[in-house]
């Protein structure tokens, strides 16, 4: 359709330019009345990109030129801006278009109606957020006042009449219970919200509410123990005729180490929930946490870049949040995300801009002139110390979060929003690779490390997919007789150029990426194949495979092992599982279920690298552990190091009392073997007996 006709009919109001040369555009709609106030056209209706009258358009054309030089289909928007021209205010938006076929366009639209609609949406969002914050603030004020008064007057009856009168007339629902859960004061608002009549008191209705939203029995005692209040939102469906969203505060009043009262505050926020999701989303806010979303954040960062303001960008990642959702449920997970956003907002205050930019990722932008001399890395560490403290969900579950932070500065680490985000993410990814609660600032060295890691990750992915890995075995022997009692399966990676990549490189790489899951599947399948080969050679030898903490946390692992054994008709007694001590710290509940299931099948369980982690003796007593493997670091200098000797003797004594077998790793000489034998260590593994070798080589050697 003819754009001139569309403009004439008022269906659209835009100026269209076609890019002819690198620095020149030809106007296809020269009759648009306001256009010549923005650009100067030649007699041929062309204009040079360096001669616009708008600083906003000038800035946008720099980014547009990058889009036009590309080969892919792409449309870039400038966002809305305002131009004041001869007493008239224009609301404009520019689009740079690359159609992927060598044609490039610039469209400048008059978006007055869309701008007004956007402003209405933003105003609605502000009103919703202010309304919600006002309710939360009112709850906090009432909670503090009541706590103060009840501390001064341990007996409720001593409360002065004006305070009672004020409570009775509050719009906020108030219920005060004694330590036995009996109502001592409520108000009209609470009775209305809880649907009370003369036959039902508010204490009973609160019990119904807590039961209906499935609050566990341990929740209230936890608040007393921690001396903390809980505040959040609850959806209560009391009946088909009464369903309500409530803002709820639950506060235990502790006086002289003793619980004296419970304070419940309630406000109907159904009107906010009915509007907020659509309004907040349209305004660039995240509906779950009620802070800015990724789009709004990106727009804000671009604005600071255009203003050439020095600032620092922080990216926050909650480690392994999927585990929290699986363990506690998505409702509790959402509650923790809201609490996380609240802590972040309180910590940053008005000195920075915060946003939720991913499911478990948040971002903060802080102008450099607001740091007050504190280095950004130290500032991030302080924020992290607040974010990692225990979270208590309404369902009674508690969680301690791991938080990694990546930092990049404008203009030091990037001169545009996209580059800055990439570099902050590089720092974040390396921080995640290094471990839990790591904070890193972007640098060229980190960038190189990230590139190398990404390249290695891709190569390892291909090695798994194309089956370029191989399985070796190393025997574990009876130290007295030299008889082989079982073997450990060890993965080996030989690259196309013939070079070997050490397991100390690719195993940590797999564990810190999602490659651990396909690698784990490959290892289970290869171990089953190796057992088949051993069986075919009339060798009834148990084979041990190592399982990482991330695999243990994956509920699909048990099914993978069961399916692999069943499909190959392998007796589970031929398989052994080795876990490191750290697994028990990170995933005790999941590990306990998994180990008991595996043991019931006949699979034996070993703790690998014992003595290097933080394994509690309680775990050894309560969990079905068959063997402990003494880490090679205690064996390597055994002959000359009295500390190592003492540690090994202590482990051997412990294992003997718990009826657990011991395997010593890394035995390389007869002196080490003799010491271990002298102190009743039954089994060993190391180069003194055999080096790791292919299954075929191992079978040939045994059968000779």
pLDDT score of 315 more than 60: yes
pLDDT tens digits for 461-484? 999 999 999 999 999 999 999 999
What is d(CA 46, CA 43) in angstroms, rounded to the nearest whole number? 7
Tell me how far apart the terminal alpha carbons of the chain are, to the nearest angstrom: 85
When pLDDT is averaged across residues 635-662 and rounded to a whole number, the result is 87
CB 443 within 8 A of CB 459: no
| Cα dist from 446 to 67, 275, 376, 380, 428, whole Å | 28, 44, 17, 18, 10
What is d(CA 689, CA 704) in angstroms, rounded to the nearest whole number? 16
Q: Residue 61: which residues within 8 A CB-CB, separation 6 or more?
A: 49, 52, 96, 106
User: What pTM was estimated for this model as a whole?
Assistant: 0.53
Element spanning 341, H or E: helix 330-348
What is d(CA 549, CA 142) in angstroms, rounded to the nearest whole number? 46
Domains of the chain: 3-110 (3.30.450), 120-272 (3.30.450.20), 318-442 (3.30.70.270), 455-703 (3.20.20.450)
pLDDT tens digits for 449-461? 888 888 888 999 9
Q: What is the pLDDT of residue 6?
A: 44
| Cα dist from 57 to 51, 96, 285, 414, 581, whole Å | 10, 11, 27, 22, 60
pLDDT score of 577 more than 50: yes
Closest CA to 77 of 358, 298, 307: 298
| Cα dist from 636 to 322, 490, 610, 629, 667, whole Å | 39, 20, 14, 14, 7
Closest CA to 332 of 224, 216, 250: 216
Q: What is the DSSP letter of 98?
A: E
What is d(CA 629, CA 649) in angstroms, rounded to the nearest whole number? 13
Percent of the chain at pLDDT exceeding 90: 31
Chain-centroid distance, C-alpha 96: 35
CB 19 within 8 A of CB 104: yes
Q: What is the pLDDT of residue 121?
A: 52
User: pLDDT category, 593, cuts 50, 70, 90?
Assistant: confident
Extract the tokens encoding 564: 């692999």
pLDDT score of 1 more than 50: no
Phi, psi of 634 (to 5 degrees): -85, -20
What is d(CA 266, CA 173) in angstroms, rounded to the nearest whole number? 5
User: pLDDT category, 198, cuts 50, 70, 90?
Assistant: low
Q: What is the pLDDT of residue 11?
A: 43
pLDDT score of 313 more than 90: yes
Q: Residue 474: which residues within 8 A CB-CB, separation 6 or more?
A: 487, 488, 490, 685, 690, 691, 692, 693
**Looking at 390-502, which runs of residues are DSSP E strands?**
391-392, 398-399, 403-410, 439-441, 469-478, 484-494, 500-501
Percent helix / strand / coil, the chain, rounded to 5: 45, 25, 30
Torsion sign across C-alpha atoms 403, 409, 415, 417: positive
Looking at the DSSP bridge assignments, the partners of residue 76 are 96
Percent of the chain at pLDDT exceeding 70: 86
Closest CA to 689 of 675, 702, 703: 702
Extract the tokens encoding 629: 């493997």
Extract the tokens encoding 40: 């100067």
CB 688 within 8 A of CB 665: no
Phi, psi of 514 (to 5 degrees): -75, 0
What is d(CA 154, CA 25) in angstroms, rounded to the nearest whole number? 79
Phi, psi of 278 (to 5 degrees): -70, -40
More confident: 654 or 133? 654
What is d(CA 573, CA 534) in angstroms, rounded to the nearest whole number? 14
Is there a cis peptide before residue 411, judged by omega within 30 degrees of 0? yes
Q: Residues 363, 364, 365, CA angle at the centre, nearest 5°?
A: 130
Find the Cα–Cα–Cα–Cα dihedral 376, 381, 384, 385, rounded to 10°: -140
Q: What is the pLDDT of residue 283?
A: 54
What is d(CA 679, CA 672) in angstroms, rounded to the nearest whole number? 11
What is d(CA 290, CA 276) in angstroms, rounded to the nearest whole number? 9
Q: What is the DSSP letter of 293?
A: -
CB 584 within 8 A of CB 616: yes
pLDDT score of 183 more than 80: yes
Element spanning 608, H or E: strand 604-610
pLDDT tens digits for 529-562? 999 999 999 999 999 999 887 787 666 788 899 9
Q: What is the pLDDT of residue 162?
A: 62
Torsion sign across C-alpha atoms 137, 140, 145, 146: positive
pLDDT score of 388 more than 50: yes
pLDDT tens digits for 660-675? 899 999 999 999 999 9
CB 92 within 8 A of CB 36: no
Torsion sign across C-alpha atoms 64, 67, 73, 79: negative
């Amino acid at each position: 359709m003819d754009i001139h006709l569309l403009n004439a009919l008022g269906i659209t109001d835009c100026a269209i330019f076609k890019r002819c040369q690198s620095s020149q555009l030809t106007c296809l709609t020269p009759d648009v009345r306001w256009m010549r106030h923005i650009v100067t056209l030649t007699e041929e209706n062309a204009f040079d990109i360096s001669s616009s009258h708008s600083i906003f358009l000038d800035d946008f054309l720099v980014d547009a030129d990058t889009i036009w030089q590309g080969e892919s289909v792409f449309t870039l928007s400038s966002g809305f801006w305002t131009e004041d021209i001869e007493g008239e205010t224009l609301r404009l938006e520019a689009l740079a278009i690359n159609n992927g076929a060598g044609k490039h366009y610039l469209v400048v639209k008059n978006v007055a109606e869309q701008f007004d609609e956007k402003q209405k949406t933003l105003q609605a969002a502000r009103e919703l957020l202010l309304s919600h914050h006002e309710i939360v603030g009112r709850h906090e004020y009432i909670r503090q006042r009541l706590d103060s008064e009840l501390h001064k007057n341990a007996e409720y009856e001593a409360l002065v009449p004006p305070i009672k009168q004020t409570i009775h007339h509050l719009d906020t629902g108030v219920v005060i219970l004694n330590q036995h859960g009996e109502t001592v004061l409520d108000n009209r608002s609470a009775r209305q919200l809880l649907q009370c009549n003369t036959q039902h008191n508010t204490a009973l209705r609160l019990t119904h509410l807590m039961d209906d939203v499935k609050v566990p029995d341990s929740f209230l005692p936890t608040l007393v123990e921690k001396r903390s209040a809980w505040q959040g939102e609850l959806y209560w469906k009391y009946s088909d005729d009464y369903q309500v969203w409530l803002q709820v505060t639950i506060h235990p009043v502790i006086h002289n180490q003793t619980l004296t009262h419970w304070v419940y505050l309630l406000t109907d926020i159904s009107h906010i929930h009915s509007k907020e999701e659509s309004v907040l989303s349209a305004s660039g806010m995240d509906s779950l946490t009620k802070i800015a979303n990724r789009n709004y954040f990106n727009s804000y960062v671009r604005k600071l870049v255009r203003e050439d303001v020095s600032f620092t960008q922080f990216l926050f990642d909650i480690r392994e949040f999927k585990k929290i959702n699986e363990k506690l449920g998505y409702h509790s997970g959402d509650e923790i995300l809201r609490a996380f956003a609240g802590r972040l907002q309180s910590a940053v205050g008005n000195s920075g801009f915060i946003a939720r930019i991913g499911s478990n990722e948040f971002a903060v932008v802080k102008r450099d002139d607001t740091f007050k001399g504190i280095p950004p890395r130290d500032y991030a560490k302080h924020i992290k110390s607040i974010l990692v403290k225990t979270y208590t969900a309404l369902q009674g579950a508690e969680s301690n979060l791991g938080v990694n932070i990546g930092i990049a500065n404008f203009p030091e680490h990037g001169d545009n929003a996209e580059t800055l985000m990439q570099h902050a993410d590089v720092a974040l990814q390396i921080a995640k690779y290094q471990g839990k609660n790591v904070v890193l600032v972007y640098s060229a060295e980190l960038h190189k490390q990230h590139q190398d890691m990404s390249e290695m990750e891709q190569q390892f992915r291909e090695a798994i997919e194309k089956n370029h890995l191989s399985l070796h075995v190393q025997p574990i022997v009876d130290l007295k007789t030299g008889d082989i009692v079982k073997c450990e399966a060890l993965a080996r990676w030989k690259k196309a150029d013939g070079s070997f990549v050490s397991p100390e490189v690719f195993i940590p790489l797999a564990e810190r990426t999602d490659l651990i899951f396909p690698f784990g599947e490959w290892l289970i399948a290869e171990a089953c194949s190796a057992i088949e080969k051993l069986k075919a050679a009339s060798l009834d030898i148990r084979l041990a495979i190592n399982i990482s903490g991330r695999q243990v946390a994956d509920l699909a692992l048990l099914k993978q092992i069961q399916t692999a054994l069943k499909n190959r008709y392998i007796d589970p007694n031929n398989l052994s599982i080795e876990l490191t001590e750290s697994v028990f710290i990170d995933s005790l509940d999941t590990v306990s279920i998994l180990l008991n299931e595996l043991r019931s099948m006949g699979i034996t369980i070993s703790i690998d690298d014992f003595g290097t982690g933080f394994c509690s003796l309680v775990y050894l007593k309560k969990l079905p552990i068959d063997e402990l493997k003494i880490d090679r670091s205690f064996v390597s200098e055994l002959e000359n190091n009295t500390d190592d000797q003492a540690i090994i003797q202590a482990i051997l004594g412990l294992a003997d009392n718990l009826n657990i077998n011991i395997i010593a790793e890394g035995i390389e000489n007869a002196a080490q073997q003799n010491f271990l034998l002298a102190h009743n260590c039954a089994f060993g593994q190391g180069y003194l007996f055999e080096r790791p070798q292919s299954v075929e080589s191992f079978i040939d050697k045994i059968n000779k």
